[in-house]
Amino acid sequence: MGKARLILTCGLPGSGKTILARQLAADRGAVRLTQDEWLWALGSTPWDESTREKVDHELWRLAQEILRLGLSVVLDFGLWARIERDEMRTAARGLGVGVELHYLDVPTDELWRRIEARNSEPPWDSPDHRRADPRQSRRPLHPFLPKARIERGAAADGSGVGRRGDDRPPDDER
């Protein structure tokens, strides 16, 4: 097993963060911590702000403990705000751990197609839980505009996945 890394996923709802996080965790032998899965397991939803904040805090605390043990962690959060990413990077580097940021840049039409498909399946299909327009969320969300892209360009394979390591921060973080 290689050196521990903090691997962050970043993207809008429906961009494929959880699918990518599963793949990265499997490929790297990393522990995956997915915010939405923990919320659902606790009987909450991604729209329950107070519970989400508590879960985020505990998952981040757990991630740091895992990193201290020398294991890699994939954090599957939205991480829309630069300050969130900066704080995590700083803490991880303080532990002597490298950081990767994977930003998913998916066209708006595809985001909506994926959100509609996801909202047709449990647990997202419950009328109490479904939210047709993620922009209605009280949590700050980058608008669905090209200028909101955190990293420019898609991967060469056309997957819409951009990857940056320690030395190449997203455009908004230079």
**Cα separation, 147 vs 16, whole angstroms:** 20
**Cα separation, 17 vs 24, whole angstroms:** 10
Asked whether 28 and 5 are in contact (CB, 8 A), the reply is: yes
In a domain, 92, yes or no: yes
Report for 31-45, 54-68, 101-115, 152-166: range of highest mean pLDDT: 54-68
161 beta partners: 104
pLDDT at 78: 83
In a domain, 89, yes or no: yes
8 beta partners: 75, 101
Q: At 120, is the secondary structure helix, strand, or coil?
A: coil
The pLDDT > 90 percentage for the chain reads 46
* Residue of 173 and 174 predicted with greater confidence: 173
In a domain, 171, yes or no: no
Residue type at position 77: F
In a domain, 136, yes or no: yes
Q: Model confidence over 79-129: pLDDT tens digits?
A: 888 999 999 999 999 999 999 999 999 999 998 888 888 777 766 666 554
Domain assignment of residue 80, given as a range = 5-165
CATH of the domain at 65: 3.40.50.300
- H helices of the chain, in order, are 17-28, 35-41, 49-68, 82-94, 108-118
**Cα separation, 48 vs 171, whole angstroms:** 31
**Cα separation, 125 vs 165, whole angstroms:** 36
Two tokens, residue 92: 């991880």
In a domain, 174, yes or no: no
In a domain, 173, yes or no: no
Q: Is 149 exposed, middle or buried (0-12, 13-18, 19+ CB in 10 A)?
A: middle
pTM of the predicted model as reported, rounded to 2 decimal places? 0.71
Q: How many domains does the chain have?
A: 1
pLDDT at 102: 95
Q: At 118, is the secondary structure helix, strand, or coil?
A: helix
In a domain, 137, yes or no: yes
In a domain, 93, yes or no: yes
Two tokens, residue 127: 């009328």
pLDDT at 4: 95
**Cα separation, 5 vs 67, whole angstroms:** 7
For 32-36, what is the mean pLDDT? 94
